[in-house]
Structure 1
Amino acid sequence: MKNTVPIKRNSEFLRLYKKGKFYAGKNIVLYVMKNGLDIKRLGITVGKKFGKSVKRNRIKRLIRENYRHYEEFVKNGYDLVFVARTNEQMPDFTDIRKEMKFLLKKLDVFEQEKWYCLKDG
């Protein structure tokens, strides 16, 4: 991820949970808040109820890889936190991809014009 800085401090996560906008999907929840900087910041969290460490790390890798595909279409100046929701079955790559695009559009962080320009050209 070239233009994205990770969110690592617990206080930054808590600030997003309290003050940020959020929208919940079937597999992931996205919290968004303006950060006043000219960079994107990303955090990914998975609770222990999701499963053992293998399963938690797998879902984090899926979220990170899908975000990498949409990174250039996400507006600068936002903090994003993806939270994996517990589910009976593990979501696959395409499920997360569709849901991530839907959530980014819903919270008005996705630059639709860039997306259409690349699709046409």
Structure 2
Amino acid sequence: MSRGRRTRLTDSPEFERVYRQGRVYRGKLFSVHAFPNGLGHPRLGLSVSKRVGGAVVRNTVRRRLREVFHTSVGEGHGGMDFVISARPAASEASFQDLKEEFERALRRLEAGGV
């Protein structure tokens, strides 16, 4: 999957649509909102507030979450928009912890639960 601009959510209205109309998974490290986009490829939006930590910590969490997304989302999630909102615990989590929680979120969202 390419990692360019086409895989990112950047506009406020896009975030709002996913928040308001999408399904949600709430975990201890982050919450994931998901909503179909009709584009045929997945897109990611990240929300990492100052409660997570300083600028260096927030950027580290963003990079890790972006990599988790790209390694976990396959063709089965082709037309979905995802918004991940990091919780403060994400700053202490390992990459593997983030990956496991994101994969758990995908399974729950696919099952229609939560």
Task: Sort the TM-score into its range (normalised by shorter chain).
Answer: 0.7 to 0.9
Counterpart mapping for 1:24-39 below 5 A: 24-39=26-41
Cα 1:44–1:108 change in 2 (3 A) is: same
For 1:13, give the aligned amino acid.
Answer: F
For 1:45, give the aligned amino acid.
Answer: S
Name the residue aligned to 1:99: 101
d(CA) in 2 for partners of 1:63, 1:92? 11
Q: How many residues align?
A: 109
Specify every segment of 5 or more residues in structure 2 that has no aligned partner in the other structure, as ranges: none
Cα 1:53–1:98 change in 2 (3 A) is: same
For 2:29, give the aligned amino acid.
Answer: N
Cα 1:74–1:93 change in 2 (3 A) is: farther
Name the residue aligned to 1:64: 66
Cα 1:40–1:88 change in 2 (3 A) is: closer
Specify every segment of 5 or more residues in structure 1 that has no aligned partner in the other structure, as ranges: 110-121
RMSD, matched Cα: 1.9
Name the residue aligned to 1:43: 45
Name the residue aligned to 2:85: 83
Percent of aligned positions with the same letter in both sequences? 31
Structure-1-length-normalised TM-score? 0.81
Deviation at 1:102, TM superposition (A): 0.3
Larger radius of gyration: 1
Deviation at 1:37, TM superposition (A): 2.0
Structure-2-length-normalised TM-score? 0.86
For 1:2, give the aligned amino acid.
Answer: S
